[in-house]
Structure 1
Amino acid sequence: MDKKDSEEWLKARVEKANAELARQAGNQEALPAQLPLWPDSVRAVPNALLRGALFSISNVRDVVKKRTLLASVKGIEVRFKGERLNQTDLDTWETIIHLARTQDLGSQVRFSAHSMLTMLGRHHGREQHEQLKEDISRLTGAVVEITIKEEGQAFGGTMVQSYYRDEAAQTYVIEVSPQLLKLYQAGNTYIDWSERQQLGNANLAKWLHGFYSSHAVQIPYKVATIRDLCGAKASQRLGDFRKLLRTALDLLVTKETSITGWLIDENDCVVVTRRPSKSQKRYLER
């Protein structure tokens, strides 16, 4: 093959490759640029994040060095690597995404540390500022892979894509991945923010609130299953966890959240009664 023939052959290969890339791009579903707009009174969270141990109830932050499968409901697989996340991290992440919903994903989300702490219902002292720094850093460093079996799709990445902080002004610029839209499209739940905030540091109650809010139909779950799904320590005795569970469920009722009652039946299954949201009512009517 002489030089001229080589150039023609290379040109043909490049054109063929470009044509194939264009074809593949044309077959991909275009992602909407923006999250759906939800009211200020709620936080929209993908169901996949509420139905497992990604945001656990534990305040002990183990470091997972290898991509590890976490407990989750059937149909969802969650793998994780990094410093474990808990309900405090979920509060912070929900609030960042709440701000991000008003603009294109991948755009810069700007806020002051003071305003973020106010939205989170925290004080504004040095300790709370340091906690916010840790929260955002942890969300940026934790690698998550979520597979929705029914959709045949997987999201892989970090909960926060990148951040910049102006130390003098104590302001943040944060970016989140546009691919998060896929998780929202697979199903999401509006979490009543005032109900969640009034639960304070009761991590198990907060987890249960999100978990049951993500179900239009309340399915009985065994106490042992809930212990695994919420990320409680596997070494914790089931009897001890059952006591904590009863206390958390009582708190949800006394705080007048959407959970109005509960019992643990003869099969050691937790059965709750709950007021469905407006969208869940429509779903149940259909």
Structure 2
Amino acid sequence: MANGKDNSYEKIVEWLHERSAKAQKEAAAEALEKSTGSPAATLGLPTWPDEVRGVPNAILRGALFGIGQERIVHQKRTLIAAVEGYEIRFKGETFNQTDLDVLEAMLHLAMPHPLGKRVEFTVHSFLKAIGRKTSGEQHEQFKEQVVRLMGGVVEITDTKARKTFMGTLVSKAFREEDTGRYVVIFDNDMLNLYEGGYSHIDWNQRIALGKSALAKWLHGFYATHAKPYPYKVETLRTLCGSQTGELFKFRQQLRKALNELVSVGAIQGWNINDDDLVTIQRTPSSTQQKHLNRAAKRP
């Protein structure tokens, strides 16, 4: 009986969060219409509760945001590792998990507003929100990351839908030098990525993983799976963009990262069998459970 009450309470909280986000988006659109005297743009990101970040699956299911600390500059369109169903090519300076922290937080700020509109924040508050210090060094790192996200050209093909997104993940950015205030803009093309499917990333869990890049990558990767498939250790090494050459060393890193996921409550357990297949135990989200239930009813 207690479990039923807990589930009902969680559903009510989730509904209230979604309703609040929707109300913010509608208020922003109404304010825009009043200020311009013309119909407001209604295109916007899907809404999600405040405790999660909504991230397109295409971004999380490969090495576009990898775990490497060494930056590589791809001068030409370069094929990036991804799961079956996606083909990803990239031109520019490679992204990693620190860049994904920034992108996820920016998308969350943009979520209540129509796409193409200004999203404003101070660097100080932004860095604190993503669990970083606010020193001058951190400010400079943030500047580099914004430029990197604007400069990297991404080409993501959904091979089943036969559709390709081409462009940068952040359209424009402005900075006030005296105040440290930033403005970023996401354009309507971002919807193409979300329409291909997106997942809720537990933000508190991600922040708790700190600087563990592999654990953060696994956290996002498995969040896109309603029912996680078994993957070979070698396959995971490729998909996350690991620069570790020896497989046994990566396997050690993987075990440590999986234990970190258990410690923050992202998964319940994991196993690597004699065939080097990795399986995890994870409770699907309410949305993913609905998907599984629908799939089970199909003939």
TM-score range, shorter chain: 0.7 to 0.9
- TM-score for both structures, normalised by structure 2: 0.83
The alignment status of 1:106 with 2:116, answered yes or no, reads yes
The alignment status of 1:51 with 2:61, answered yes or no, reads yes
* Equivalent residues, number: 254
Pairwise CA distance, 1:42: 0.3
Q: Gaps (5+ residues) in structure 2? A: 1-40, 295-299
Counterparts of 1:270 and 1:195, CA distance in 2: 21
The alignment status of 1:122 with 2:135, answered yes or no, reads no
Counterparts of 2:100 and 2:259, CA distance in 1: 22
The alignment status of 1:168 with 2:163, answered yes or no, reads no
Mapping 1:89-100, distance limit 5 Å: 89-100=99-110
Counterparts of 1:150 and 1:275, CA distance in 2: 27
Q: Which aligned runs of 4 or more in structure 1 are off by greater than 3 angstroms?
A: none
User: CA offsets, 1:119-155, max 9 Å, x none?
Assistant: 1111111111111111101101111000111111111
Counterparts of 1:251 and 1:175, CA distance in 2: 34
Which residue of the partner structure matches residue 4 of structure 1? none
In our comparison, the structure showing a higher alpha carbon Rg is 1
CA 1:160–1:284: 2 relative to 1, 3 Å: same
Task: State the percentage of identical aligned residues.
Answer: 50
- TM-score for both structures, normalised by structure 1: 0.87
Q: Gaps (5+ residues) in structure 1? A: 1-30
Pairwise CA distance, 1:255: 2.3
Q: Which amino acid aligns with 1:116?
A: F
Which residue of the partner structure matches residue 279 of structure 1? 287
Counterparts of 1:285 and 1:265, CA distance in 2: 28
Mapping 1:1-286, distance limit 5 Å: 33-233=43-243, 236-257=245-266, 259-286=267-294
Which residue of the partner structure matches residue 3 of structure 1? none
Counterparts of 1:122 and 1:204, CA distance in 2: 18
Q: Which amino acid aligns with 1:246?
A: R
Q: CA RMSD in A?
A: 1.2
Which residue of the partner structure matches residue 15 of structure 1? none
Counterparts of 1:153 and 1:252, CA distance in 2: 33
Pairwise CA distance, 1:249: 0.5
Counterparts of 1:252 and 1:116, CA distance in 2: 25
Pairwise CA distance, 1:32: 5.9
